[in-house]
Amino acid sequence: MATAAVFTEHGFQKIFTLGLPGVTEAFTRAGVPLPLLTAPLSAVLELAGGLLLLLGLASRPLAGTLAALVVVTRLPGLLAGGPVGWTQLEVPWLLLCGSLAVLLGGPGLTVGAGLRGAHPAEPAGARRRARPTSRRTP
């Protein structure tokens, strides 16, 4: 849920605070490929994808897409700047790891499931059926 919340916040900032022209300019300076395409795509995917992840909808495909998005949009800027310190890596690293965790492990509990008190689906065969008791007829 934390990864989804951070993606949602970043998408919100890109659309409503920085604006798409500002994000496009930042992507151009950072060397992100195709900034006119990747800036709006990134903003919309982060905002909508983060919200959908919070709800547990299409979690694995979204997580894979968001992980790829982190690599495509953050890696060029980090590599172009010379030596990179932990402060530049921590947020992209956490978003990448969180996305990969959802991609590989599934959504787990979602916001909606947590509010309803539901639990994630059990793996096949996790529950064993009770053996019927034998009844003898007199």
Give the model confidence (pLDDT) of 98-127 as tens digits. 999 999 988 776 655 555 555 555 555 555
DSSP string, 88-107: HHHHHHHHHHHHHHHHHH--
Report which of 23, 6, 5 is spatially closest to residue 14, judged by C-alpha positions: 23
Distance, in Å, from the CA atom of 41 to the CA atom of 33, rounded to the nearest integer, reads: 12
pLDDT at 119: 52
CA 110 to the chain's CA centroid: 12
CA dihedral 34, 37, 38, 43 (to 10 degrees): 160
Model confidence at 64, in pLDDT bands (50, 70, 90)?
very high
Check pLDDT > 60 for residue 56. Answer: yes
Band of residue 130 on the pLDDT scale cut at 50, 70, 90: low
What pLDDT, on the 0 to 100 scale, is given for residue 135?
Answer: 64
